[in-house]
């Protein structure tokens, strides 16, 4: 497929994913297909209520080859891990490729906010960053995707027609800063076939 050949020419040091409403279904489809030897750390912001428990993360981890966990302050990003922003915490990436958790003001009515992660990661990884925006019912992530593109990174949006809640990916697509618009199945195939083309 065309998108495999495009991505096979890229070198990424980090993947950031933003998702909101409908995210549980999307991530349960996407993360379990990622192979154990996947070479790039993944950091995820999903809009969740501040009182949420860790059961959702534990359930995902039990289905995945890579390790899925809540991000901890000051831990170093490692391949084979998917780090989720904890409830009521923004996630940023430091120059040392460590996770920084903050209680700064909400952005787009959200904490954690997708834009906070995407903006931070774009400054650190520049052209070596892949940003993915999935289903959601607000506009969080659009500004962050623009920042990723401006820094030279690569952007993928879930096709709004395919998304359970199309507002968030459509907003990103409408910004004109999306390199590939893919269905969830196609994004899953990207992970399955990573570097095989």
Q: Residue 151 carries which DSSP code? A: T
Q: What are phi and psi of 79, to 5 degrees?
A: -65, 155
Give the 3-state secondary structure of residue 61: helix
User: Among candidates 9, 57, 17, 10, which has minimal Cα distance to 188?
Assistant: 17
Dump pLDDT digits (tens) for 137-158.
Answer: 999 999 999 999 999 999 999 9
Interatomic CA distance for residues 102 and 130, integer angstroms: 23
| CA–CA dist 103, 126 (Å, integer) | 25
Q: Is the pLDDT of residue 49 over 60?
A: yes
Catalytic residue check, 162: no
Q: Cα–Cα distance between 166 and 9 in angstroms, integer? A: 29
Q: Which of 20, 110, 120, 171 is catalytic?
A: 20
Q: Which of 4, 3, 19 is nearest to 135 (CA)?
A: 19
- Given 47, 90, 120, 171, the catalytic residue: 47
- Residue for token pair 């489809």: 29
Q: Which of 90, 110, 115, 140 is catalytic?
A: 140
The tens digit of pLDDT for each residue in 12-38 reads 999 999 999 999 999 999 999 999 989
1-15 tens-digit pLDDT? 555 566 666 789 999
Give the per-residue pLDDT at 53. 66
Establish whether 79 is a catalytic residue: no
Note the pTM of the prediction, 2 decimals.
0.95
Q: Where are the beta strands (DSSP E) in 63-153?
A: 67-70, 81-84, 90-93, 99-102, 129-133
Instruction: Tell me, yes or no, if 49 is annotated catalytic.
Output: no
pLDDT at 175: 96
- Could you tell me the pLDDT band of residue 197, with boundaries at 50, 70 and 90? very low
What is the per-residue pLDDT for 6? Answer: 66
Q: What is each CA distance from 59 to 38, 43, 140, in whole angstroms?
A: 20, 17, 26
The per-residue pLDDT for range 65-120, each reduced to its tens digit, is 999 999 999 999 999 999 999 999 999 999 999 999 999 999 988 999 999 999 99
């Amino acid at each position: 497929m065309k998108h495999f050949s495009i991505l096979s020419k890229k070198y990424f040091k980090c993947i950031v994913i933003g998702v909101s409403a409908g995210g549980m279904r999307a991530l349960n489809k996407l993360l379990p297909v990622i192979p154990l030897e996947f070479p790039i750390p993944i950091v995820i912001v999903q809009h969740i209520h501040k009182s949420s428990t860790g059961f959702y993360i534990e359930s995902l981890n039990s289905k995945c080859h890579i390790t899925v966990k809540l991000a901890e302050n000051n831990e170093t990003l490692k391949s084979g891990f998917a780090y989720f922003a904890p409830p009521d915490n923004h996630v940023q990436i430091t120059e040392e490729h460590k996770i920084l958790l903050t209680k700064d003001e909400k952005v787009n009515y959200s904490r954690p906010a997708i834009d906070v992660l995407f903006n931070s990661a774009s400054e650190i990884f520049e052209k070596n960053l892949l940003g993915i925006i999935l289903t959601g019912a607000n506009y969080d992530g659009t500004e962050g995707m623009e920042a990723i593109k401006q820094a030279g990174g690569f952007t993928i949006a879930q096709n709004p027609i395919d998304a359970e809640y199309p507002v968030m990916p459509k907003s990103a697509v409408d910004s004109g800063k999306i390199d590939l618009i893919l269905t969830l199945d196609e994004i899953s195939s990207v992970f399955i076939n990573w570097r095989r083309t």
